[in-house]
């Protein structure tokens, strides 16, 4: 009986979170109320308050929910990617897709003050979260010989995290399509990873010519 109640409680909480995400997407941060969430979830306001005593608690729960999703997705992307740059491209593409799903640029253009405030306050935490999922992939890339010798892993992780954390704050771009997650991913990865990667070895025939030149000079 207790297990059933706990499972039912988790299902209700997830139902509320899904409804909240839908409302934030449709109405924006400023205009979403707990009444909207209750109506969308098909629950009473009293039920919403039983799980989340106020709007701030609901916003925090949605943030944790999305963080868990990002961590899970990042681990899978890391396992599926052929290289570190591919991983960053996929992670950036996912962030661009999430920004599009939440209609973040639309709500920012509509001067959603609550969203402005939330993005400003969450920037440091967003950078920290991205750093935490990027760092293990950098370590793995270093072990594979993909990174230049002597690279500071922590600094590199923070640098790329800063680039990723800024995606949902972009209002427009002139050299790539913000509405195309894959294009955003390629753009971010190609520039954020520049300077981190090991230089490719020259072709064998170029090495042979270099050695021959060195022998003649000797």
- What's the pLDDT tens digit per position in 189-205? 999 998 899 977 555 54
* Predicted TM-score of the model (pTM): 0.85
Q: Do domains 1-53 and 62-192 have the same CATH topology?
A: no
Mean pLDDT to the nearest integer, 36-59: 95
Domain boundaries, the chain: 1-53, 62-192
Q: Is the pLDDT of residue 116 over 90?
A: no
Instruction: Please state which of the four CATH numbers 1.10.357, 1.10.12, 1.10.10, 1.10.3470 is assigned to the domain occupying 62-192.
Output: 1.10.357
Nearest Cα neighbor of 161 from 187, 196, 123 is 123
Nearest Cα neighbor of 43 from 17, 6, 5 is 17
The whole-number pLDDT of residue 121 equals 83
Provide the 8-state DSSP code for 174.
S
User: Which distant-in-sequence residues (6+ apart) come within 8 Å of 211 by Cβ?
Assistant: none
Residue 32 φ then ψ, to 5°: -80, 130
SS3 208: helix
Give residue for tokens 């009986």. Answer: 1
The CATH code of domain 1-53 reads: 1.10.10.60
Q: Is the pLDDT of residue 214 over 90?
A: no
């Amino acid at each position: 009986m207790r297990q059933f109640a706990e499972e039912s409680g988790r299902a209700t909480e997830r139902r509320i979170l899904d409804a909240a995400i839908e409302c934030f997407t449709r109405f924006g941060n400023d205009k979403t109320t707990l009444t909207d969430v209750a109506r969308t979830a098909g629950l009473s306001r009293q039920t919403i308050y039983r799980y989340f005593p106020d709007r701030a608690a609901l916003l925090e729960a949605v943030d944790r929910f999305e963080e868990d999703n990002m961590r899970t997705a990042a681990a899978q992307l890391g396992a599926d990617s052929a290289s570190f740059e591919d991983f960053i491209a996929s992670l950036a593409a996912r962030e661009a897709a999430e920004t599009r799903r939440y209609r973040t640029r639309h709500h920012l253009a509509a001067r959603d003050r609550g969203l402005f405030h939330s993005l400003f306050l969450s920037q440091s935490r967003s950078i920290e979260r991205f750093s935490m999922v990027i760092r293990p992939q950098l370590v793995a890339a270093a072990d594979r010989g993909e990174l230049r010798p002597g690279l500071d892993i922590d600094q590199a992780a923070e640098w790329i995290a800063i680039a990723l954390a800024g995606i949902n704050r972009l209002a427009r771009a002139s050299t790539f399509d913000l509405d195309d997650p894959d294009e955003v991913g390629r753009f971010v990865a190609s520039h954020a990873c520049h300077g981190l990667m090991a230089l490719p070895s020259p072709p064998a025939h170029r090495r042979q010519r270099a050695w021959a030149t060195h022998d003649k000079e000797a």
